[in-house]
Amino acid sequence: MKYFITFEGIEGCGKTTQISFLKDFLKKKNRSVITTREPGGTKIGDKIRRILLDSENTDIDIKTELLLYQASRAQHVKDVIRPALEQGCVVLCDRFTDATSVYQGFVQGISEDFLERLNRFTTDNLTPNLTVLIDCPVEIGLKRTEDRMKTTNQEVCENRFEEKSVEFHQMVRLGYLQIAEHNSNRFHIVDGREDISAVHREIRTAVIKKMAG
Ligand code: TMP
């Protein structure tokens, strides 16, 4: 059985922290685990990520943007995700195809059917077994992102999305909730307003249940 678990949500919802907690938990249970992210996850993908998230690239065309996400994903699936799944690793991935459906589809208007076909082409039909959506109000997410930016200058120029309007992030949140509703077998929605350990416990329970079933 393959375990491919993806994490989605608005900026600042807490994906990175929760992925790291879940990784530690699964490792303690003697599971082999890898964590990865999109865009990125490979050497080529990381270069593409820098182009995509560079705050100077405000004039990027939506088609260019979409194809760069897909280019990063194709490399990622082939070089990292599939090989890890084939070796029996649990793969925890920070964003995947649902992010495209929300950001490029729901928010920016690219056709849902077209994106579905493109995602299937790029991933050779790879679908996550479980997608954890950490849902939280935009004000909370953006405040956390702002605080993180103040304490770390690690990805200082990777803020093209954080600079978008509140309305943009609200649309993203709405898009995720809609996709989750339409794919309720695969999605598990967690309330991201809860404290970090409560969110972790809920994710842990959902993962254990999925693995048992
Ligand atoms: P993050 O690593 O901080 O989550 O940032 C990645 C950004 O890229 C985030 O704002 C969502 C965006 N994104 C898309 O627009 N489409 C995609 O397909 C993916 C994977 C991410």
Question: Which pLDDT belongs to residue 5?
Answer: 98
> Cα(113)–Cα(93) distance, rounded to whole angstroms?
23
Residue 44 lies in a domain: yes
Return the ligand 1 atom nearest residue 52 CA.
Answer: 8
Predicted confidence (pLDDT) per residue in 48-75, tens digit: 999 999 999 999 999 999 999 999 999 9
Long-range contacts of 154-162 (CB under 8 A, 24+ apart): 155/53, 157/53, 157/54, 157/55, 157/56, 158/49, 158/50, 158/53, 158/54, 158/55, 159/53, 159/55, 160/52, 160/53, 160/54, 160/55, 160/57, 160/58, 161/11, 161/53, 162/11
Residue 153 confidence class, pLDDT cut points 50, 70, 90? low
Residue 11 lies in a domain: yes
Report, as an integer, the average pLDDT of 169-176. 98
Expressed as residue numbers, the domain containing 191 is: 3-97+123-212
* For residue 125, pLDDT beyond 80: yes
Question: Which pLDDT belongs to residue 207?
Answer: 97
Question: Which pLDDT belongs to residue 151?
Answer: 77
* For residue 155, pLDDT beyond 60: no
E strands along 44-196, which residues? Answer: 90-94, 130-135, 187-191
Question: Which pLDDT belongs to residue 141?
Answer: 94
**What would the two tokens of residue 36 be?**
């990865």
pTM (two decimals) = 0.95
Residue 102 lies in a domain: no
Residue 114 lies in a domain: no
Residue 103 lies in a domain: no
Q: Whose CA is nearest to atom 19 of ligand 1?
A: 99
Residue 164 lies in a domain: yes
Residue 115 lies in a domain: no
Question: Which pLDDT belongs to residue 37?
Answer: 98
What lines the ligand 1 site, CB under 6 Å? 11, 37-39, 69, 95, 99-100, 103-104, 161
Report, as an integer, the average pLDDT of 24-48. 98
Say how many Å lie between the CA of residue 39 and the centre of ligand 1. Answer: 6
CATH of the domain at 174: 3.40.50.300
Substitution candidate for ligand 1 out of 95, 156, 171 with most atoms within 8 A of CB: 95
* For residue 157, pLDDT beyond 70: no
Say how many Å lie between the CA of residue 208 and the centre of ligand 1. Answer: 27
Percent of residues, the chain, with pLDDT higher than 70:
97
Query: Coil, helix or strand for 59?
Result: coil
Return the ligand 1 atom nearest residue 39 CA.
Answer: 20
Domain count, the chain: 1
Residue 116 lies in a domain: no
* For residue 19, pLDDT beyond 70: yes
Substitution candidate for ligand 1 out of 77, 81, 161, 179 with most atoms within 8 A of CB: 161
Longest dimension (CA), the chain: 47
Question: Which pLDDT belongs to residue 163?
Answer: 72
Say how many Å lie between the CA of residue 200 and the centre of ligand 1. Answer: 22
Q: Which of 16-20, 89-93, 129-133, 146-150 has the lowest mean pLDDT?
A: 146-150
Question: Which pLDDT belongs to residue 164?
Answer: 82
